Structure 1
Amino acid sequence: MNASSDDHDLVVLVHSGGKKAAGGGHEIDTQRALAGQLAALIGAPFRGAFDAARPCPHRYIVPDDTLSAGDAQRMGITGEDDLFGGVVPHPFVATKVIAHGLPPNARAKPAGWSDELGERVRHLVLPGYSAFSREDAHAAAALLWRDGAVRLKRPSGIGGSGQAVIADESELDAQLDDIGDDLLRTEGIVLERDLRDIATFSVGRIRLRSQEASYYGVQHLTRNNHGHSVYGGSDLVVVRGGFDALERIDMPEHARTSIRLAREFDAAIRDAFPGFLASRRNYDVACGADDEGRHRCGVLEQSWRLGGASGAEIGALRAFANDPALEVVHASTVEAYGADTDVPADACIYYRGVDPHGGPITKFYTVDTVDTTRNAAFPKQRSE
């Protein structure tokens, strides 16, 4: 795909300043590899890392994390066409805490907090609260313990990290001691109903300048080189166009429910924070049973940055760009650990190496066309 005449000097750059950058290794290499593929799709050269001192009037930024409004302004980002990711007016908006309101009579909240948002999304998420003080955390946990187990989540944890099921006040205090009062005050925590037999679905929309696609799908888990259960990839049904186009295809009812919850959550965020923008929107929707056997579904969190499913997203965009008649594809990402990983012949590998901390890792995506005369079946949850 060629750049337009207005974009003859456009360049694609990465910005690595988020929490992932501290880990280094495969995260940075993955970011650069996917940025290179995005550059090819928009017909612009990939020029490496963003440097504010480098003269460059037209930039397309691929950050490793959601950007603050201040950072976006310094990079010259004014809209969705300027980045693959998102921009938020306050740091907490990019984290898990916006999925819930505060407990009744809460004593602490950050500047810019929207009490109205918590009320609006209450029916879209699992029962829970966000808290920014010990007193509020204890009040929230006490309310939730009445109906079953409670999961504590740190706001910026990735792939299930930074979470624990807490059974009583002593376990809660131990978690809060580990977090510390200063971090609790600035970042907060989430206390949420814990579910059993959980399935995590993904709903997303991506826009790469003139190209747009949306999807539903499932995540699956794997074992890393240390034996821990971690994110292992995503299986997606991707359509050309936005959420309206996605909802026009045939799909199982639980897929349609996940899309409805994600779209309503997305609209609530846009209304609550006018400074918010995102060209990459991904929402995790969890379904499972609580301690009393009740089936529950709700949005767990959002991702407005390069993520685990982005390889599949980019692969789908590339398939659509190569075939203007193509409307629906199945796209999958796989993150495999260990030295002996079998990779399909038609896969695109975007990382293969030995991470200093994680050991041998291979990441790849595959894309298959879909027979649109048949149901674009919802991918099945994979076991480890």
Structure 2
Amino acid sequence: MADDVVVEYSPQDGGFVDMHERITRAAVAKRLAALMGFDYAGEYDQSSLHPGRIYFVPSNTLVGIKQAAQLGITGERDLFGGAVPYPFVATKIITHPLVEHNASAPRGWSNSFARRVQSAVLQGYSVFTEDQAYAAGERLLKDGPARLKPVHATAGRGQRVIRSLSELVEALTRIDPTELLHSGLVLEENLTAVTTYSVGQVRVVDLTATYYGSQRLTTDNAGDEVYGGSDLVVVRGDFDALVRLPLTESIRIAVGQARVYDAATSVFPEMFASRRNYDVAQGTNARGQWRSGVLEQSWRMGGATGAEIAALEAFRADPALQVVRASTYEVYGESQAPPPQATVYFRGTDDRVGLLTKYVVVEAHGDTR
């Protein structure tokens, strides 16, 4: 495989990318290359000739199956991430139904997907006009506050809790109608005392790893509460192998809902993904009911990817190993050096976020053989 290479690919970035994110993605690509026995070739250059296979590590979910095929990406073995037929499929907008079955929606919209995931998501609606948003708000607010969610934002950024129709009208004035028409907006029941689980699967060459875990919050250099890392329990094999582990009831529910959501993607038969991650929120709604549901999917490199790759490396190194704990850490400001066994992805001063350390630790998990 001397002629086979792993490359980074940055489609649709269209703007500034933090230095720490660029360096982290390069580190991920290098570790994938070592895992696969490929060479690392940096950022993809269409003018460069590669006689062997090219494996891509995109910065985002690829949009357009034909466009992906022009790069030589025709299935999950060609990339770390995923490819979808329409832009909306890559966002949280697919999670909920339209306000009305025949409401206006983007080309390729599937009412079938929302029906299939109904038992696995919270109550909510996907809207593409102000009138649709108002109708959705009227329905949701009868039962309590609703959460308004931009579809391209990550880590909860840009979301706000809506407690009245007047608040909703005011919030909609801040949203570009053209952006609303093309990308949409989610309105969803609001939960309190929330725990968010990550459930996912990665497939690289002959290795499959499936996991559940939770996210940690931390305080960044500006004093804001942000993503601080993930703690995963990763099993060699598929979802069936994961559910054979001793799981708590709440985690078992989260894994089951993620499986329902993952299976429903078959309504988009052209899509494929080697990295599948689902955020599942559990908490209490305004009526005091305990609720659980998938919030969104990620078919691209994400915050937990360092832990995913570390687990794959551990499984490659020891064919008898079946389960590991893998954790990512993002520490802002002055901090102690990472532990000696850690894999460091970034440690320095980012141009925008300041001092930051990002690293991964892998540990044994109970009876791992």
Give the alignment's TM-score, normalised by structure 1: 0.92
* Count of paired positions: 367
Quote the residue 1:44 is aligned against. Answer: 38
**Separation in 2 of the partners of 1:350 and 1:143?**
46
How far the C-alpha of 1:100 sits from its partner, in A, is 0.4
**Separation in 2 of the partners of 1:8 and 1:369?**
33
Quote the residue 1:346 is aligned against. Answer: 341
* Residues 347 and 371 of structure 1, relative CA distance in 2, 3 Å threshold: same
Give the residue type in structure 2 aligned to 1:167: R
**Residues 134, 176 of structure 1: 8 Å contact kept:** yes
Deviation per CA, 1:99-138: give whole Å up to 9, x if none. 1011125532000000111122111100000000110011
Deviation per CA, 1:230-289: give whole Å up to 9, x if none. 1111101101111111112222121111111000110011x2100110000000000000
SS for the counterpart of 2:327 is strand
- Deviates further, 169-178 or 209-218: 169-178
Quote the residue 1:226 is aligned against. Answer: 222
**Separation in 2 of the partners of 1:65 and 1:201?**
22
**Residues 85, 279 of structure 1: 8 Å contact kept:** yes
- After superposition, residues 1-384 of structure 1 pair within 5 angstroms as 7-19=1-13, 22-57=16-51, 58-68=53-63, 69-104=65-100, 107-269=103-265, 271-372=266-367
- Deviates further, 283-292 or 8-17: 8-17
**Residues 16, 28 of structure 1: 8 Å contact kept:** no
SS for the counterpart of 2:16 is helix
Quote the residue 1:382 is aligned against. Answer: none
**Residues 144, 163 of structure 2: 8 Å contact kept:** no
Give the residue type in structure 1 aligned to 2:363: D
SS for the counterpart of 1:292 is coil
Give the residue type in structure 1 aligned to 2:197: F
**Residues 80, 209 of structure 1: 8 Å contact kept:** no
* Residues 240 and 351 of structure 1, relative CA distance in 2, 3 Å threshold: same
**Residues 238, 316 of structure 1: 8 Å contact kept:** yes
Gaps of 5+ in 1: 1-6, 375-384
Deviation per CA, 1:204-241: give whole Å up to 9, x if none. 10001111100011111111111111111110110111
- Deviates further, 187-196 or 48-57: 48-57
SS for the counterpart of 2:117 is helix
Give the alignment's TM-score, normalised by structure 2: 0.96
**Separation in 1 of the partners of 2:339 and 2:138?**
50
Give the residue type in structure 1 aligned to 2:207: Q
**Residues 147, 187 of structure 2: 8 Å contact kept:** yes
Gaps of 5+ in 2: none
SS for the counterpart of 1:8 is coil
Deviation per CA, 1:310-342: give whole Å up to 9, x if none. 000011111111111110001000111112244
* Residues 20 and 358 of structure 1, relative CA distance in 2, 3 Å threshold: farther
RMSD over equivalenced CA pairs, Å: 1.5
SS for the counterpart of 1:53 is coil
Aligned-pair identity in percent equals: 48
Give the residue type in structure 1 aligned to 2:107: A
**Separation in 2 of the partners of 1:105 and 1:294?**
27
**Separation in 1 of the partners of 2:350 and 2:182?**
31
**Separation in 2 of the partners of 1:106 and 1:290?**
29
**Separation in 1 of the partners of 2:18 and 2:140?**
38
* Residues 317 and 273 of structure 1, relative CA distance in 2, 3 Å threshold: same
Write out the 4+ residue segments of structure 1 that deviate beyond 6 Å after TM superposition: none
How far the C-alpha of 1:373 sits from its partner, in A, is 7.5
How far the C-alpha of 1:372 sits from its partner, in A, is 1.5
